[in-house]
């Protein structure tokens, strides 16, 4: 399979550079989605356009099990600082998370699979808006899930480029591998007044200080030390003048977790932390907004990816995944089928490393046929194992 995918290297690079030069953001992926859908139709896929606004779902094969391969297509609102010949032609938009290459590799996998005799079906999920959410707080994967993109699917796989790992490697681990997300928004109400007469006020900053200490105690004192989680405040606003104690202060933060039980527990603990405010004479409003499911790689699916990786890349080509509480919206597709995501080494030798979302992010394109081959071989392995 590596040989076959090397044979389409030129197409892979051409697709990737075309998407890179014409990045589109959020759900606004009309050009990218059209190219993807047109190419898939040419390859003989049954194509559904406009799934989850601008997503594309395409299936090939008959009967048997259904393996889904997901690729995200959206870029970021970043001004590219690279100087290569395929630099973004849209100022302020850039494929700085490698989704151009995810889309190209999935198209390559679709092409190679269209030439195979499949003992089942393969479904491609090309999704918009992985990086953010729409006005209703839904990401591309959530929208596509809601519109039945993974109905009838048995397994779902996806890959993400990794600028820190060398070309010729993948990384995969079973179990919790990425964070679920909650956003908290709160207002602490006190009683404003003159900074010289604090005793006549209920100082919301003083109340906030107690809350922050309690929030920082949640992970260290309230959760099981074997449960990865984070509680971080990212925004605090209140007051204007140096000698006026304001009546209120607002704050926003992010909660990360890898299990839904812990998610529930963190919400309870955060609420308790805010209760302190009432015992000190203030009041509060607190709102949580669920941002996304944690990534939990299925044991069987991860095992298949690992074996495929070893067969294709050798024992040194497969590593344990670097786990993080960073979020991905891929787990939305795993709500009724097992699946896993792995990372693909795309490090550029001899160049300073620029991480995901950096304006100088880039990949070593020699990784493209490798990622393509892993997708194809993994899909075929599932179908062969169960036919």
| 7-15, 17-25, 89-97, 226-234 -> range binding Zn ion (CB under 5 A) | 89-97
Q: In terms of CB distance, is 73 or 270 closer to Zn ion?
A: 73
Q: In terms of CB distance, is 97 or 157 closer to Zn ion?
A: 97
Least distance to Zn ion, CB of residue 228, Å = 20
Q: In terms of CB distance, is 97 or 208 closer to Zn ion?
A: 97
Least distance to Zn ion, CB of residue 303, Å = 24
Size of the site for Zn ion (CB under 5 A): 1
Least distance to Zn ion, CB of residue 23, Å = 12
Of 29, 33, 36, 97, which lies in the binding site for Zn ion, with binding defined by CB under 5 A? 97
Least distance to Zn ion, CB of residue 63, Å = 33
Taking CB positions, which residue lies at the least distance from Zn ion?
97
Q: In terms of CB distance, is 77 or 198 closer to Zn ion?
A: 77
Q: In terms of CB distance, is 46 or 357 closer to Zn ion?
A: 357
Least distance to Zn ion, CB of residue 326, Å = 9
- Report residue 194: phi and psi, to 5°: -75, 140
The DSSP bridge partners found for residue 296 are 176
Residues found in the chain: 387
Q: In terms of CB distance, is 224 or 355 closer to Zn ion?
A: 355
Identify whether the C-beta of residue 368 lies closer than 8 Å to the C-beta of residue 101: yes
Q: In terms of CB distance, is 141 or 273 closer to Zn ion?
A: 141
Q: In terms of CB distance, is 186 or 344 closer to Zn ion?
A: 344
Residue 25 as a binder of Zn ion (CB under 5 A): the answer is no
Least distance to Zn ion, CB of residue 75, Å = 10
| HEC assignment per residue over the chain | CHHHHHHCHHHHHHHHHHHHHCCCECCCCHHHHHHHHHHHHHCCCEEEEEECCCEEEEEEECCCCEEEEEEECCEECCCCCCCCCCCCCCCCCECCCCHHHHHHHHHHHHHHHCCCCCCCEEEEEEECCCCCCCCCCCCHHHHHHHCCCCCCCCEEEEEEEECCCCCCCEECCCEEEECEEEEEEEEEECECEECCCHHHCECHHHHHHHHHHHHHHHHHHHCCCCCCEEEEEEEEECCCCCCEECCEEEEEEEEEECCHHHHHHHHHHHHHHHHHHHHCCCEEEEEEEEEECCEEECHHHHHHHHHHHHHHHCHHHEECCCCCCCCCCHHHHHCCCCEEEEEEECCCCCCCCCCCCCCCCCCCHHHHHHHHHHHHHHHHHHHHHCC
| 4-12, 93-101, 221-229, 341-349 -> range binding Zn ion (CB under 5 A) | 93-101
Q: In terms of CB distance, is 97 or 379 closer to Zn ion?
A: 97
Least distance to Zn ion, CB of residue 293, Å = 16
Least distance to Zn ion, CB of residue 103, Å = 11
| 90-98, 151-159, 188-196, 377-385 -> range binding Zn ion (CB under 5 A) | 90-98
Least distance to Zn ion, CB of residue 235, Å = 21
Binding site for Zn ion (CB under 5 A): 97
């Amino acid at each position: 399979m590596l040989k076959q995918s090397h044979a389409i290297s030129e197409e892979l690079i051409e697709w990737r550079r075309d998407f890179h030069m014409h990045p589109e953001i959020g759900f606004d992926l009309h050009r990218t989605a059209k190219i993807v859908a047109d190419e898939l139709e040419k390859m003989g896929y049954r194509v559904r356009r406009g799934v989850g606004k601008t997503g594309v779902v395409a299936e090939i094969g008959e009967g048997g099990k259904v393996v889904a391969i997901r690729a995200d297509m959206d870029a970021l609102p970043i001004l590219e600082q690279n100087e290569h010949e395929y630099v973004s032609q849209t100022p302020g938009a850039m494929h700085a998370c490698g989704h151009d290459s995810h889309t190209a590799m999935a198209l390559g996998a679709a092409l190679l699979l269209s030439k195979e005799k499949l003992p089942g079906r393969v479904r491609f999920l090309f999704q918009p808006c992985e990086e953010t959410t729409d006005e209703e707080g839904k990401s591309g994967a959530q929208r596509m899930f809601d519109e039945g993109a993974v109905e009838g699917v048995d397994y779902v796989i996806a890959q993400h480029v990794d600028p820190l790992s060398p070309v010729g490697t993948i990384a995969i681990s079973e179990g919790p591998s990425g964070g679920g997300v909650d956003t908290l928004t709160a207002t602490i109400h006190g009683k404003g007044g003159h900074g010289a007469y604090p005793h006549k006020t209920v100082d919301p900053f003083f109340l906030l200080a107690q809350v922050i200490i309690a929030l920082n105690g949640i992970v260290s004192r309230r959760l099981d030390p074997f449960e990865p989680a984070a509680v971080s405040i990212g925004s605090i606003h209140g007051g204007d003048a140096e000698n006026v104690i304001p009546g209120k202060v607002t704050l926003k933060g992010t909660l990360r977790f890898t299990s839904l039980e812990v998610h529930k527990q963190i919400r309870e603990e955060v609420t308790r932390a805010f209760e302190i405010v009432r015992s000190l004479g203030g009041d509060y409003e607190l709102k949580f907004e669920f941002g996304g499911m944690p990534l939990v790689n299925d044991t069987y699916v991860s095992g298949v990816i690992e074996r495929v990786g070893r067969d294709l890349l050798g024992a040194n080509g497969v590593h344990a995944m670097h786990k993080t509480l960073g979020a991905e919206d891929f787990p939305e597709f795993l709500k009724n089928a097992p699946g896993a995501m792995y990372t693909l080494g795309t490090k550029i030798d001899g160049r300073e490393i620029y991480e995901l979302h950096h304006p100088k992010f880039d990949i070593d394109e020699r990784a493209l046929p490798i990622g393509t081959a892993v997708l194809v071989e993994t899909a075929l392995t599932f179908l062969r194992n169960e036919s």
